[in-house]
Amino acid sequence: MRIFGIETSCDETAMAIVEGKGDRVKVKANIVASQMKLHEKYGGVVPEVAARQHVETIIPMLSEIVPPNGKGIDAIAVTYGPGLVPALRVGVELGRTLSLLWQKPLIGVNHLEGHIYSNWLKPRYKPMVFPALVLIVSGKHTEIVLMKGYGKYQLLGETRDDAAGEAFDKVARILGLPYPGGPAVSRLAKEGNGSRFDLPRPMIDSKDFDFSFSGLKTAVLYTWREAGEKKALKADMAASFQEAAVGVLVGKMTKAIALTKPKTVMIAGGVAANEHLRSRLGKAIKKQFPKVKFIVPEMKYTGDNAAMIAAAGYFRALKKDFVDPRDLEANPNLGLV
Ligand code: KG4
Ligand code: ZN
């Protein structure tokens, strides 16, 4: 089954075609047009600017990726939330229109579910073993989710304020690093000493699986000021922040693994590109839970893309989980469960 995926929830216009067979998905085509440069000067994504750019990009991208009349495509999958409403609407309208025009079924995909399926986009097939514990870490979400099977999710914990990616972005701004902050902070952190500054690990000892990153960001702000904002200390500050943020993520995940005893652990979302997180969580699992399989997405599928949306759509299509194209609407606050 061939699924055409569309993703416009934030600042990437993305389209992809995946082919699904049984529990395998293969990426046939994948295009991502990033608007990063456009939003850089504002230090964040401006929804209306993002939407206008999506509109400009979608038609040329569509003709680049799909044959006329959607020949060979079996269904269309589009992100309908969560995300920025004006941006989401562009993709949703395109999906609805194509579904009616091509007479193909439409699948509304949850962006967070899409991120989870980035773990299925591997060059070599390996069957996925459930239950799987997933750490979703993006620019707007931080959640620990127990995936019991396809489409079966249980939310164990989430952030009470800022998301992990948001904390990286805000710390980057404090340190005068470019947007988006995650890649910039983690690059600089490689040259720094992560134990140079003693920063809090919010909620690390709480009994639940919730997170809080806003206090850590504020601690960075004050510690950095007290240190005189010296250029020579910038890498140490970045490394110390990353150490604290990753420490909390790894701490909560190991507790959640001990409690839920999953067969597989995976990470998903933009922050899943963070090498420190990959390596520290990987090492912790290998040491404490040697039987648990740890999966990370390919780097190119950590950020927003449509291959993951099409993959999530494929597993919904298998269950005939289609929507009437006349009814699909953007939903900015959609949760995974
Ligand atoms: O999943 P994503 O592309 O978009 C959302 O759905 O939000 O995530 C974007 C977030 C941004 O906050 C960005 O700074 C962060 O992912 N990010 C990283 C890294 N690469 C991207 N954070 C930490 N380390 C990275 N290497
Ligand atoms: Zn995302």
46 within domain boundaries: yes
Tell me: do 169 and 38 sit in the same domain. no
- What Cα–Cα distance (Å) separates residue 31 from each residue in 11, 14, 144, 169? 14, 6, 29, 25
Tell me: do 293 and 192 sit in the same domain. yes
Instruction: Find the helix or strand (DSSP H, E) in which 79 lies.
Output: strand 75-81
Pair 10, 85: CB distance under 8 Å: no
Tell me: do 87 and 160 sit in the same domain. no
Residue 210 has what pLDDT? 98
Tokens of 323: 């929507």
14 within domain boundaries: yes
How many other CB atoms are found less than 10 A from the CB of residue 79? 33
Q: Which atom of ligand 1 is nearest to the CA of 275?
A: 26
Residue 328 has what pLDDT? 98
Residue 59 has what pLDDT? 96
Q: How far apart are CA 21 and CA 198, in angstroms?
A: 50
Q: How many Cα atoms sit within 13 Å of 226 on the Cβ side?
A: 9
Tell me: do 112 and 33 sit in the same domain. yes
332 within domain boundaries: no
330 within domain boundaries: no
Instruction: State CA 196 to chain mean position distance.
Output: 30
- What Cα–Cα distance (Å) separates residue 251 from each residue in 67, 70, 245, 270, 318? 48, 47, 10, 20, 36
Count of the separate structural domains present in the chain: 2
Closest residue by CA, ligand 1 atom 3: 303
Residue 41 has what pLDDT? 87
Tell me: do 276 and 238 sit in the same domain. yes
Q: How many Cα atoms sit within 13 Å of 132 on the Cβ side?
A: 26
- The one-letter amino acid code at 328 reads L
How many other CB atoms are found less than 10 A from the CB of residue 43? 14
Strand runs (DSSP E) across 104-163, as ranges?
106-110, 132-137, 142-149, 152-158
Mutation to probe ligand 1, out of 138, 142, 179 (largest number of atoms < 8 A from CB): 138
Tell me: do 178 and 272 sit in the same domain. yes
How many other CB atoms are found less than 10 A from the CB of residue 200? 15
Tokens of 227: 């240190």
Query: Domain holding 187: CATH number?
Result: 3.30.420.40
Residue 43 has what pLDDT? 84
Tell me: do 166 and 37 sit in the same domain. no
Q: Which atom of ligand 1 is nearest to the CA of 12?
A: 3
Question: pTM (2 decimals)?
Answer: 0.97
Domain around 314:
2-119+301-318
Residue 30 has what pLDDT? 98
Distance 46 CA to ligand 2 centre (A): 16
Tell me: do 159 and 103 sit in the same domain. no
- Adjacent-strand bridge partners of 265: 133, 294
Q: How far apart are CA 235 and CA 315, in angstroms?
A: 43
Residue 145 has what pLDDT? 98
- What Cα–Cα distance (Å) separates residue 89 from each residue in 32, 113, 327? 18, 18, 13
Q: What's the order of all strands across the beta sheet hosting 2-7? A: 24-34, 12-21, 2-7, 75-81, 106-110
Q: Which atom of ligand 1 is nearest to the CA of 140?
A: 7
Give the ligand with the smallest distance to the CA of 178: 1
Q: Which atom of ligand 1 is nearest to the CA of 115?
A: 1
Cα-Cα-Cα-Cα dihedral sign, residues 128, 129, 135, 141:
positive
Q: Measuring CA to CA, which residue among 326, 321, 310, 332 is closest to residue 121? A: 310
CB proximity list for 230: less than 8 A, separation 6 or greater: none
List the pLDDT tens digit at each of the 337 positions of the chain: 999 999 999 999 999 999 999 999 999 999 999 999 999 888 889 999 999 999 999 999 999 999 999 999 999 999 999 999 999 999 999 999 999 999 999 999 999 999 999 999 999 999 999 999 999 999 999 999 999 999 999 999 999 999 999 999 999 999 999 988 999 999 999 999 999 999 999 999 999 999 999 999 999 999 999 999 999 999 999 999 999 999 999 999 999 999 999 999 999 999 999 999 999 999 999 999 999 999 999 999 999 999 999 999 999 999 999 999 999 999 999 999 9
Tell me: do 177 and 77 sit in the same domain. no
Give the ligand with the smallest distance to the CA of 268: 1
What residues flank ligand 1, with Cβ below 6 Å? 10, 138-140, 165-166, 168-169, 180-183, 186, 269-271, 273-274, 303-304
- The one-letter amino acid code at 308 reads M
Q: How far apart are CA 212 and CA 159, in angstroms?
A: 5
